[in-house]
Amino acid sequence: MMDATKFYINGKWVTPDGSQRLEVINPSDEKGFSTITLGTQADTDNAVSAAKKALPAWAASTKEQRIELLERLFETYKARAEEMAQTISQEMGAPIDLARSAQVGAGAAHLKNTIRALKSFNFEHPLGDHAPDNIILHEPVGVCALITPWNWPMNQVMLKVAPALAAGCTIVLKPSEISPLSAMLLTEMIDSAGFPEGVFNLVNGDGAGVGSQLSKHPDIDLVSFTGSTRAGKAITLAAADTMKRVGLELGGKGANIIFADADEKAVTRGVRHCFANSGQSCNAPTRMLVEKSVYKQAVETAAMIASKTDVGQAGTEGRHIGPVVSEQQFVKVQALIKQGIEEGATLVAGGEGRPEGFDKGYFVKPTVFSDVAPGMTIWSEEIFGPVLVITPFETEEEAIELANDTLYGLTNYIQTSDKDRARRLARQVRSGMVEVNGKSGSAGFPFGGMKQSGNGSREGGVWGLEEFLEVKSVTDW
Beta bridge mates, 435: 413
Q: According to DSSP H, which parts of 177-326 are helical?
A: 181-193, 212-216, 229-240, 266-275, 295-307
What are the b/e assignments for 95-117, b being 16+ CB within 10 Å?
A: bbbbbbebbbbbbbbbbbbbbeb
Backbone φ and ψ for 90, nearest 5 degrees, come out as -75, -40
- Number of Cβ within a 10 Å radius of residue 53: 14
Question: Is 213 in contact with 234 (CB distance < 8 Å)?
Answer: no
d(CA 287, CA 270): 9
Question: Is 349 in contact with 303 (CB distance < 8 Å)?
Answer: yes
Question: Is 171 in contact with 142 (CB distance < 8 Å)?
Answer: no
Whether 282 is catalytic: yes
Burial of 426: CB neighbours in 10 Å, binned 0-12, 13-18, 19+: middle
Q: According to DSSP H, which parts of 387-450 are helical?
A: 396-403, 419-428
Quickly list DSSP for 15-30. Answer: --S---EEEEEETTTT
Angle made by CA atoms 70, 73, 78, in degrees to the nearest 5: 130
Q: According to DSSP H, which parts of 308-359 are helical?
A: 327-342
Catalytic residue among 169, 282, 466, 467: 282
- Number of Cβ within a 10 Å radius of residue 401: 13
Catalytic residue among 91, 249, 382, 467: 249
Phi-psi region of 344 (alpha: psi -120 to 50; beta: other; left: phi over 0): left
Select from 50, 2, 42 the least CA-distant residue to 19. 42
Select from 470, 471, 444, 475 the least CA-distant residue to 458. 444
For residue 462, what is the enclosing H or E element?
helix 461-466
Distance of CA 320 to the CA centre of its chain: 21
User: Which three-class secondary structure state does DSSP give residue 168?
Assistant: coil
Quickly list DSSP for 180-217. Answer: -HHHHHHHHHHHHHTPPTTSEEE----IIIIIHHHHH-
Residues acting as catalytic residues: 249, 282
